[in-house]
Amino acid sequence: MHTHTVGEIVKENLVRLRKGRGVLARDLESRVRPDFTELFGATADSGSVLREKVIGYLDELMADLPDQLRRAARCGLNLPPSTDGDTLQQRLAVLAAEFYCDERTARRRMDDAFLHMAGHADRGQVPMPGVGHGGIGWYVDVFDAVLRLDMANPEAIERRTIVATAASLDKIVTSIDVPRHPSNHSTRVELTREMMFGGLLAGTGQGSSTNFSTEITLPRTLHRGERHTYGLIARIPPGQEMVNRYVYVPYRQCRYFTLLVRFHPDRMPQRIWRHEGVPHSAVNDEPRPGTELEPNLANEVSAQFRDLINGCAYGIQWR
């Protein structure tokens, strides 16, 4: 009986993943084997949660690759915000043109990249999930959000301090879900993002009709244990209704989260309450006893949360 090494498991799944739309494939759950998702603690996940964890683990595996091999891996796997094509053949053609070689050579470059990634996994260069605060590549030490509802259009000002757990980290990918308002049945959900400081907006994408990803290039390469703070503004466009909540569901570890919501004096809700470590489905329930919040004279409410549990909901809701 042959027991597969971690590297063999990774290599096999990378080859499976690069077919078709790669990590953006709708059937991602059937494309990755349980022994692979077990490597980064995602055996029970599905949908956008699974996709984000897969992407995070792949980013970790390629953290130390030379630029050309990293480019070949990202292209082959169709990692967001990729625009290289929806089929492997299209992406091979793009890579061949970029590397001034034929498509067979481009495929060999991908294979070389996958071998290096499998080697990193075999040598234990990728931290296992669940050790301390270390997630995949990086974790959030402090997340500070201010949601302004006193403006013409809702605006979330988000400031995060992250800590690198990879050997080196020069880019990160974050995502935000913008639930569809009950009054919006047919119009497309949209979101605009602007970097305030601490990085460059490298690309944006959509994992689903309501999930928006943001790739940020860091101002310098971080090494394991180094901290970095960046600021991002997310805006709901004019004419689009926002649901009556701001809820954070972390999928990488977060030590401290603080949220302030500022309401318009003419649009004060009747009830405001907090969610702390509840299932995301709790947003459909009545407020639990002891969770209601009273606005101050500036029409603001705030809440603070420590040592958040992955997959649980934290935030503020109103009606």
Please tell me the distance from the alpha carbon of residue 263 to that of residue 242, in angstroms, as a whole number.
Answer: 13
What pTM was computed for the model? 0.61
Query: Would you place residue 3 in the very low, low, confident or very high pLDDT band (cuts 50, 70, 90)?
Result: low
User: pLDDT tens-digit profile of 169-185?
Assistant: 899 988 888 888 888 76
The pLDDT of residue 129 is 42
Please tell me the distance from the alpha carbon of residue 199 to that of residue 166, in angstroms, as a whole number.
Answer: 18
Please say whether the beta carbons of 117 and 69 come within 8 A.
Answer: no
Domain layout of the chain by residue ranges: 6-124, 131-318
The pLDDT of residue 208 is 73
Please tell me the distance from the alpha carbon of residue 306 to that of residue 259, in angstroms, as a whole number.
Answer: 12
Instruction: Calculate the average pLDDT of the chain.
Output: 87
Task: Of 193-197, 205-209, 214-218, 254-258, give the lowest mean pLDDT range.
Answer: 205-209
Average pLDDT for residues 245-272, to the nearest whole number?
A: 92
Backbone angles phi, psi at 286, to 5 degrees: -70, 155
Task: Of 20-34, 133-147, 183-197, 231-245, give the lowest mean pLDDT range.
Answer: 133-147
Residue 47 has pLDDT above 90, yes or no: no
Task: Of 56-70, 192-206, 277-291, give the lowest mean pLDDT range.
Answer: 56-70
Task: Of 65-74, 127-136, 188-197, 296-305, give the lowest mean pLDDT range.
Answer: 127-136
* Residue % of the chain over a pLDDT of 90: 51
Residue 207 has pLDDT above 90, yes or no: no
Q: Which numeric CATH code is attached to 131-318?
A: 2.60.40
